[in-house]
């Protein structure tokens, strides 16, 4: 399996622009997670989906952030408009949530810099 795939790997944009991050989870996994990691705040869960349905989006910082999962093999995280404080590494992770297996597998991350 190719693992979790994220694109782009690096993104540099200017304040006010729209940014779209993409994720393809591991085939067969039923849960997908979006995280943001910064030096100051560590790894923060933004939102997670189970069977393509958003379960908890309490970590989404504000209305500028939105996430979708139109099918089991694709998800997007959008920031509109972007701000310099959104600069971080954004990770997508997938898992097969059952009572016995909850391991998350992380993608390589998207390094976002908002100027």
Partner 1 sequence: QKEVEQNSGPLSVPEGAIASLNCTYSDRGSQSFFWYRQYSGKSPELIMFIYSNGDKEDGRFTAQLNKASQYVSLLIRDSQPSDSATYLCAVNPRNQFYFGTGTSLTVIP
Residues that bind partner 1 (CB under 8 A): 33, 35, 41-45, 48, 50, 55-56, 91, 97, 102-109
Residue 114 Cβ vs partner 1, minimum distance, rounded to whole Å = 19
Q: How far is the CB of 39 from partner 1 (least distance, A)?
A: 9
Which residue number, 46 or 79, has a Cβ lying nearer to partner 1? 46
| C-alpha distances in Å from residue 15, one per residue of 27, 33, 77, 83, 112 | 35, 25, 17, 5, 12
Q: Which is nearer to partner 1, 82 or 104 (by Cβ)?
A: 104
Choice between 41 and 62, CB closer to partner 1:
41
Where b means 16+ CB within 10 Å and e means fewer, 75-93 reads bebebeebeeebbbbbbbb
- Cα–chain-centroid distance for residue 24? 10
């Amino acid at each position: 399996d190719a693992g979790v795939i994220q694109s782009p790997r690096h993104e540099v944009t200017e304040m006010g622009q729209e940014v779209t991050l993409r994720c393809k989870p591991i085939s067969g996994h039923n849960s997908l997670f979006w995280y943001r990691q910064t030096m100051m705040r560590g790894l923060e869960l933004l939102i997670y989906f189970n069977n393509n349905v958003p379960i908890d989006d309490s970590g989404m910082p504000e209305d500028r952030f939105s996430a979708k999962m139109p099918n089991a093999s694709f998800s997007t995280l959008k920031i509109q408009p972007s701000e310099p404080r959104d600069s971080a590494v954004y990770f997508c992770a997938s898992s097969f949530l059952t009572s016995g297996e909850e391991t998350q597998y992380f993608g390589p991350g998207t390094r976002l810099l908002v100027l």
